Amino acid sequence: MQVASMHFKERAHAKLNDAQLQRNLGKMQGKFIAKRRASLTELDDFEGTREAGRAIRQRALDNLDTWLETFEASATRRGATVLYAQTPAEVNQLVLEIAARHGVNKIIKSKSMVSEESGLDHAIEAAGMAVVETDLGEYILQINDYEPPSHIIGPALHKSKEEVAELFHLRHGTERKDGIEELCREARQVLRQHYLAADMGITGGNFFVAETGSVVLVTNEGNATLATTLPKVHVAISGIEKVVPTLEDIATLMRLLPRSATGQSISNYCDLLTGVKGKGEFHGAEHMYFIVVDCGRTEVLASDVAEALRCIRCGACMNHCPVYQNVGGHSYGWVYPGPIGSVLTPMYVGLERAMDLPEASTLCNQCGVVCPVKIPLPDLLRKLREKSFDRALRPWHERAGHRIWTWFALRPRLYATASQAGVRLLHLLTRADGMVRSLPFGGGWTDGRDMPGPAGRTFRELYRARHAAPPKSQ
């Protein structure tokens, strides 16, 4: 997929001025949040389950090489083939080789974010084969000239029902339908033909289970079930970090994933696929391949933001992020949007190609609070900000501002005097309604919003007063 993360600011600006997108985002806002909150009340001990989820994912990362070897051995015993891809180009090459080996003409795909990283669909089409996305959101984007996804669990969330209706009418050549059920029925009829004609199914993998060599697929549409049982070949593609030690671990993670993602106690479909179809078995692929993908993950694992690899791709951090809610997923310019994307994208494509993403956060910690595997996203974003400062990637005036601030902060008396002067200036700028409308050198901030003027005493004054007060008598 093309990288456009270096243009975050321009893209976000354009999205904020896109009235249709703002209406679509507005309708979506809050739905996920309320459903997630309601579903968590069903758990006796959500924080305990969350800590268990964190521990499971961390245990896997701490000994990733061992669990990957165990996974490979278990999967191979059940007749599957495990392949490794270091780069996006290798992912595509391996898929094309498998397709050639089995004489494949047509491929159906269930959602796979890793294949978005490598632009797999384009590689398949360039090799002369047909490929059809079967996740409804991904299908909508594919028939809209491969529009990029804007959310990791709802790739077409930025589109309204009316936009989808018009797209189906144009692409399918059918009468325009406006009801959601009618649109889903039309998509089902179109996709069913593709399922029946496909020779190979490609899926992602929510988890790879080391002890059994299984892949876990979590969907709401059942498309992964069809994509893995109807064609003779199944290829599951996912990152090296998606391995977990045991089936018992999946039980814990499945308490967290659907609730954090869509607010469901359990998703409509959860496929656990182990090995190829055995003798006398009716369902399953005759040939099963796993492509286990690195594509920058080992560098992340060795870095100080390695905790980001615990991610189970639930999307809760973006659903709760005030920046994502306003600018939408396309502003981030690559596969993964929102707070987790602002950590992963700079690590995968290079900080210099995504240096505004770690800044695209208010550090309010909503993302950190809701993350089901306790990834400290604001801390990781702060570490990436430090890296861009150290590598002189930020504009000169930002770096100069930091240096001046550091100089003052290291001289407490001078810092106090400068702070007092700053507060006085803010008092002078505060209007009768208590708001500051414009800041010298801060127009970028106050052009779009008002700032409350200083109220009451400063922190230093309060601190001094508290320490000067005599202790209360017993």
Phi, psi of 400 (to 5 degrees): -65, -40
Beta carbons of 168 and 177 less than 8 angstroms apart: yes
Backbone torsions φ then ψ of 4, nearest 5 degrees: -130, 25
The verdict on 317 binding ligand SF4 (CB under 6 A) reads: yes
Sheet with 207-209: list strands edge to edge: 243-244, 207-209, 214-219, 269-274
Closer Cβ to ligand SF4, 143 or 370, answer by number = 370
Among the residue ranges 239-247, 289-297, 312-320, 358-366, the one whose residues contact ligand SF4 (CB under 6 A):
312-320
Q: Which is nearer to ligand SF4, 165 or 384 (CB)?
A: 384
Q: Is 164 in the site for ligand SF4 (CB under 6 A)?
A: no
Crossing angle between the packed helical segments 180-197 and 136-143, to the nearest 10 degrees: 80
Indicate which single residue of 316, 323, 327, 355 sits in contact with ligand SF4 (rule: CB under 6 A): 316
CA 245 to CA 249: how far, in whole Å? 7
Task: Work out whether 368 is an interface residue with ligand SF4 (CB under 6 A).
Answer: no
Told to check if 313 binds ligand SF4 by CB under 6 A, we report yes
311 contributes a contact to ligand SF4 by CB under 6 A: yes
Asked if 380 interacts with ligand SF4 (CB under 6 A), we say no
Decide if residue 82 touches ligand SF4 (CB under 6 A).
Answer: no
- With CB under 6 A as the rule, give the number of residues binding ligand SF4: 14
Shortest Cβ distance from residue 375 to ligand SF4 (Å)?
5
Residue 305 found at the interface with ligand SF4 (CB under 6 A)? no
Q: Which of residues 235-264 bind ligand SF4 (CB under 6 A)?
A: 260
Please tell me whether residue 288 adopts helix, strand or coil conformation: strand
In the complex, least distance from residue 231 CB atom to ligand SF4, rounded to whole angstroms: 30
If binding is defined by CB under 6 A, does position 371 make contact with ligand SF4?
yes
Q: Which stretch binds ligand SF4 (CB under 6 A): 119-127, 326-334, 367-375, 421-429?
A: 367-375
Strands (E), 179-256: 200-203, 207-209, 214-219, 233-239, 243-244
Least Å from the CB of residue 314 to ligand SF4: 4
Residue 187 touching ligand SF4 (CB under 6 A): no
300 binds ligand SF4 (CB under 6 A): no
DSSP string, 128-155: T-EEEE-SHHHHHHHHTTSPPPSSSS-T
Q: Which stretch binds ligand SF4 (CB under 6 A): 16-24, 118-126, 307-315, 402-410?
A: 307-315
Provide, rounded to whole angstroms, the least separation between the CB of residue 258 and ligand SF4.
12
List 373, 380, 381, 384, residue binding ligand SF4 (CB under 6 A): 373
Angle between helices 338-349 and 377-390 (to 10 degrees): 40
DSSP-assigned beta bridge partners for residue 107: 131, 200
User: Smallest distance from the beta carbon of 67 to ligand SF4, in angstroms?
Assistant: 19
The answer to whether the CB of 142 falls within 8 A of the CB of 107 is: no
375 lies in the site for ligand SF4, by CB under 6 A: yes
58: closest CA among 192, 255, 193, 241?
Answer: 241
**Which of 123, 311 has the CB closer to ligand SF4?**
311
Q: Interface with ligand SF4 includes 344 (CB under 6 A)?
A: no
The string of DSSP letters for 366-405 reads: HHHHH-TT---HHHHHHHHHHHHHHTT-S-HHHHHHHHHH
**Of 168 and 332, which has the nearer Cβ to ligand SF4?**
332
Which stretch, 174-182, 233-241, 314-322, 419-427, contacts ligand SF4 (CB under 6 A)? 314-322
User: Which of 140, 167, 340, 380 is close enough to bind ligand SF4 by CB under 6 A?
Assistant: 340
| Stretch binding ligand SF4 (CB under 6 A), from 91-99, 156-164, 241-249, 311-319 | 311-319
Tokens 């889903």 locate to 184
Residue 216, classed as helix, strand or coil, is strand
According to DSSP, the β-strands at 451-452 and 435-436 are: antiparallel
Q: What are residue 292's DSSP bridge partners? A: 84, 238
Indicate the residue among 285 and 340 with the shorter CB distance to ligand SF4. Answer: 340
Among 288, 314, 355, 381, binds ligand SF4 (CB under 6 A): 314
| 60: number of Cβ within 10 Å | 25
Residues 6+ apart with CB under 8 A from 20: 160, 163
136 binds ligand SF4 (CB under 6 A): no
Q: Which residues pair with 289 in a beta bridge?
A: 81, 235
Binding residues for ligand SF4 (CB under 6 A): 260, 311-317, 340, 370-373, 375
